[in-house]
């Protein structure tokens, strides 16, 4: 539910802190990756206790880094440490092409938090030979499975394999299950769920499921359990943060610490309720096992963290949206049976990120909506954020990169996108998170996990469609959120082009679309095309050998978004697995190889890397006479320096967990 990355270069609102004029937004590029730096405007003006809260929670956000590496694949920590050891100590000529390839591979492992691509889940292919690797290793011993992980393409090829008909656990390299088949895991958790429990814990969320000697059991991620050394460090920083926190945050941290100690998922729910109900504290955080995208069955959560404070000025925009949540729900184009009578506690704010960690680093979401537990959302509401200093960084980095000139055919569309694209992007994110995920309800007797491996994609589809449908509603003008419906036209033109065509740049030739948010966008765009192309609502135009996607009838396109939302909500509310599977398998996955090759070629000519991630700023305590008097923020580290420092200072887990 959390992560949502629109295809729009989103930005807008908020005052920018004046940094030295030579601030560089793009600080490194390699392979298909671009590393950006983000700014933290307003940090200097915060009171000291808030700066300290941000500092301590920032340390807690870094202390869990190893957990994610191990969750992604059991061999990741061993591979990372082997490569870093070579990088730091090998007696090698560092000016050769093979060394460059070695360095690039290590940069990719850092970026992917392991040996698989962060987005596609495909294993990286090293651009250097095993013979060359041997010269770097010298007399040091490298274990056979580490070698195989790097050099044998058939070993652990895909982090998450969701192909229809395969055992999605046994065929995936992720480390959430050990020797467990899909059937065994599904039975194990089906037995745990009690349909009479109206407030069920998220069973399986914080553990590895293992089969040993024919017996299934969970290794829980808690103090004294799996990942204990990292969790103990996290707790240490949470305790320090509690000392400078608001009373509401102190209660949250006490509960979170208790949960990290016991592993009790009901305690995690108590924490989540305290957290979602705190809309007053200026600083905020996520720290824990949150999102389940990395588990093909959707039970187990990757560890992630973010620390942030409120962007007060831009939050006025999201406040209008959340204050009118009931209106949107009542006017949603879905079956009345599936509408919420009372939308509860949808709070929304625009935030400034100060530290990204775990599964939000280096690649991050730009919008997050939590908690994920359906019953907490039903009874206590949800908290939704748009991370505007991150969307600002994207927009700054994209300035003048030639993308619109290359891919947008019509002048009027280009002009609308140039003028309104940033606002449109931020609004789509706001509405996706704050309204979309929070909307609708399940039919009686539906548990919510019936859609299995298609659930995550369809949930993103639902949230995107909600945002797309309403961004063109006259109500948006009435509320003062958009000055003109041109904002919606910019959003529609960009969305259709991205979903149908330009997002394919993120896929390797011959591969299909795997990632949930990309599948979501593809599903929507392809479904629209399948129905709307014959009527001329949307059109695929070829000019001078270039393919363009254009929208001819914005009004009818809006109607079609509403139609699809109606059906996807029905599928979710009724738990209609067959219909959900059909939509995803038919529209969301298969790539047209000819169009794909064209997009890759046009992108390559522009020289834009399709994926972006971030380095964090560095924070330093300023001491005077043994007292902390300030926290200083700096923007100096390179990508490599930061990764090596994190591996040196925040690596607390053994190689085998
Ligand atoms: Zn989402």
How many A from CA of 343 to the centre of ligand 1?
Answer: 18
How many A from CA of 580 to the centre of ligand 1?
Answer: 17
How many A from CA of 364 to the centre of ligand 1?
Answer: 13
Helix (H, G, I), strand (E, B) or coil at 373: coil
From 397, 392, 390, 399, select the one nearest 366 (Cα to Cα).
Answer: 390
Q: Tell me the pTM.
A: 0.87
CA dist 59 and 237 (Å) reads 6
CA dist 548 and 450 (Å) reads 38
Share of the chain above pLDDT 70, in %: 97
How many A from CA of 284 to the centre of ligand 1?
Answer: 20
Radius of gyration of the chain (CA): 24
How many A from CA of 522 to the centre of ligand 1?
Answer: 15
**In the predicted model, is pLDDT for residue 12 greater than 50?**
no
pLDDT, averaged across the chain: 94
Helix (H, G, I), strand (E, B) or coil at 570: helix
How many A from CA of 410 to the centre of ligand 1?
Answer: 30
How many A from CA of 427 to the centre of ligand 1?
Answer: 14
How many A from CA of 4 to the centre of ligand 1?
Answer: 5
Q: Which helix (H) or strand (E) is 566 found in, with range?
A: helix 554-574
How many A from CA of 464 to the centre of ligand 1?
Answer: 7
How many A from CA of 371 to the centre of ligand 1?
Answer: 12
pLDDT at 16: 39
How many A from CA of 3 to the centre of ligand 1?
Answer: 5
CA dist 568 and 461 (Å) reads 8
Q: What is the pLDDT of residues 359-418, one digit of tens each?
A: 999 999 999 999 999 899 889 988 989 999 999 999 889 888 899 999 999 999 999 999
pLDDT at 164: 80
615 CB contacts (<8 Å, ≥6 apart)? 27, 35, 36, 37, 362, 637, 638, 639, 642
Helix ranges (H only) for 244-324 are 247-262, 265-277, 312-323
How many A from CA of 436 to the centre of ligand 1?
Answer: 8
Q: What is the pLDDT of residues 314-327, one digit of tens each?
A: 999 999 999 999 99
How many A from CA of 1 to the centre of ligand 1?
Answer: 4
How many A from CA of 429 to the centre of ligand 1?
Answer: 9
pLDDT at 515: 87
How many A from CA of 126 to the centre of ligand 1?
Answer: 33
307 CB contacts (<8 Å, ≥6 apart)? 54, 57, 58, 61, 283, 284, 285, 353, 354, 355
Helix ranges (H only) for 446-541 are 455-471, 474-478, 486-500, 516-532
Beta partners for 72?
A: none
How many A from CA of 565 to the centre of ligand 1?
Answer: 15
How many A from CA of 257 to the centre of ligand 1?
Answer: 27
How many A from CA of 292 to the centre of ligand 1?
Answer: 12
How many A from CA of 626 to the centre of ligand 1?
Answer: 46
How many A from CA of 479 to the centre of ligand 1?
Answer: 24
How many A from CA of 437 to the centre of ligand 1?
Answer: 7
Full strand arrangement of the beta sheet holding 33-37: 26-30, 33-37, 611-615
CA dist 209 and 177 (Å) reads 5
DSSP at 139: T
How many A from CA of 313 to the centre of ligand 1?
Answer: 24
Q: What is the mean pLDDT of residues 50-54?
A: 98
Q: What is the mean pLDDT of residues 558-577?
A: 98
pLDDT at 550: 97
- What totals of helices (H) and strands (E) does the chain contain, helices first? 24, 15
How many A from CA of 369 to the centre of ligand 1?
Answer: 7
Task: Report cis status (omega within 30 of 0) of the bond before 611.
Answer: no
How many A from CA of 367 to the centre of ligand 1?
Answer: 8
How many A from CA of 178 to the centre of ligand 1?
Answer: 29
DSSP at 2: -
**In the predicted model, is pLDDT for residue 21 greater than 70?**
no
CA dist 495 and 502 (Å) reads 10
pLDDT at 18: 44
How many A from CA of 212 to the centre of ligand 1?
Answer: 36
How many A from CA of 372 to the centre of ligand 1?
Answer: 11
Q: What is the mean pLDDT of residues 147-169?
A: 94
How many A from CA of 360 to the centre of ligand 1?
Answer: 14
How many A from CA of 11 to the centre of ligand 1?
Answer: 18
**In the predicted model, is pLDDT for residue 437 greater than 80?**
yes
Rounding to the nearest 10 degrees, give the CA dihedral for residues 424, 429, 432, 437: -170
Q: What is the pLDDT of residues 200-221, one digit of tens each?
A: 999 999 999 999 999 999 999 9
How many A from CA of 460 to the centre of ligand 1?
Answer: 5
Q: How many residues does the chain have?
A: 657
CA dist 349 and 309 (Å) reads 10
pLDDT at 162: 84
**In the predicted model, is pLDDT for residue 302 greater than 70?**
yes
pLDDT at 283: 98
**In the predicted model, is pLDDT for residue 342 greater than 60?**
yes
Cα–Cα distances in Å, from 497 out to 438, 501, 543? Answer: 27, 6, 15
How many A from CA of 125 to the centre of ligand 1?
Answer: 30
């Amino acid at each position: 539910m959390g992560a949502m990355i629109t295809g729009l270069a989103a930005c807008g609102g908020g005052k920018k802190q004046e940094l030295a004029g030579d601030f560089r937004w793009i600080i490194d590029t390699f392979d298909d990756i671009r590393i950006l730096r983000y700014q933290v405007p307003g940090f200097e003006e915060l009171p000291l206790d808030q700066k300290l809260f941000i500092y301590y929670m920032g340390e807690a956000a870094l202390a869990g880094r190893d957990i994610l590496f191990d969750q992604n694949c059991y061999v990741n920590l061993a591979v990372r440490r082997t490569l870093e050891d070579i990088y730091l100590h090998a007696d090698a000529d560092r000016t050769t092409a093979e060394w460059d390839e070695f360095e690039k591979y290590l940069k990719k492992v850092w970026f992917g938090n392991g040996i698989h691509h962060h987005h596609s889940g495909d294993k990286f292919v090293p651009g250097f030979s095993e013979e060359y690797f041997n010269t770097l290793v010298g007399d040091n011993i490298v274990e056979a499975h580490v070698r195989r992980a790097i050099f044998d393409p058939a070993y652990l090829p895909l982090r998450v394999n969701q192909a229809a008909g395969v055992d999605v656990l046994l065929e995936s390299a992720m480390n959430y299950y050990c020797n467990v088949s899909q059937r065994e895991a599904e039975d194990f958790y089906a037995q745990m769920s009690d349909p009479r429990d109206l407030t069920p814990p998220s069973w399986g969320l914080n553990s590895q499921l293992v089969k040993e000697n024919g017996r299934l059991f969970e290794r829980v991620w808690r103090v004294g359990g799996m990942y204990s050394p990292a969790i103990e460090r996290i707790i240490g920083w949470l305790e320090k943060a509690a000392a400078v926190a608001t009373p509401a945050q102190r209660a949250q941290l006490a509960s979170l610490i208790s949960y990290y100690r016991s592993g009790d998922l009901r305690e995690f729910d108590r924490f989540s309720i305290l957290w979602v109900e705190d809309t007053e504290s200026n600083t905020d955080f996520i720290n824990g096992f949150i999102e389940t995208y990395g588990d093909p069955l959707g039970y187990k959560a990757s560890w992630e963290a973010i620390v942030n404070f409120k962007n007060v000025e831009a939050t006025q925009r999201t406040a209008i949206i959340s204050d009118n949540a009931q209106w949107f729900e009542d006017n949603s184009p879905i079956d009345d049976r599936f509408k919420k009578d009372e939308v509860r506690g949808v709070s929304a704010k625009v935030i400034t990120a100060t530290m990204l960690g775990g599964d939000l680093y280096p690649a991050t979401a730009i919008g997050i909506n939590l908690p994920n537990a359906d019953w907490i959302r039903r009874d206590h509401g949800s908290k939704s954020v748009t991370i505007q200093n991150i969307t600002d960084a994207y927009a700054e980095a994209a300035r003048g990169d030639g993308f619109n000139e290359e891919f947008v055919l019509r002048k009027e569309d280009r002009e609308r996108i140039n003028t309104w694209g940033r606002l449109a992007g931020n609004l789509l994110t706001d509405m996706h998170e704050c309204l979309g995920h929070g909307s609708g309800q399940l039919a009686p007797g539906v548990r919510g996990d019936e859609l299995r491996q298609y659930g995550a994609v369809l949930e993103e589809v639902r949230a995107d469609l909600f945002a797309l449908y309403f961004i063109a509603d006259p109500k948006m003008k009435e509320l003062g959120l958009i000055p003109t419906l041109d904002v919606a036209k910019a959003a529609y033109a960009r969305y259709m082009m991205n979903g149908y065509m330009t997002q394919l740049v993120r896929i390797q030739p011959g591969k299909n679309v795997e990632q949930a948010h990309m599948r979501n966008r593809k599903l929507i765009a392809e479904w629209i095309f399948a129905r709307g192309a014959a009527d001329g609502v949307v059109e695929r135009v070829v000019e001078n050998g270039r393919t363009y996607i254009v929208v001819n009838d914005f009004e009818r396109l809006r109607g079609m978004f509403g139609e699809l939302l109606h059906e996807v909500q029905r599928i979710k509310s009724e738990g209609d697995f067959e219909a959900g599977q059909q939509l995803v398998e038919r529209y969301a996955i298969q790539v047209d190889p000819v169009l794909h090759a064209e997009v890759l070629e046009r992108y390559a000519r522009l020289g834009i890397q399709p994926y972006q991630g971030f380095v964090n700023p560095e924070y330093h305590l300023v001491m005077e006479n043994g007292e902390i008097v300030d926290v200083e923020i700096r923007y100096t580290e390179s990508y490599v320096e930061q990764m090596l420092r994190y591996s040196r200072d925040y690596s607390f887990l053994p190689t085998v967990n």
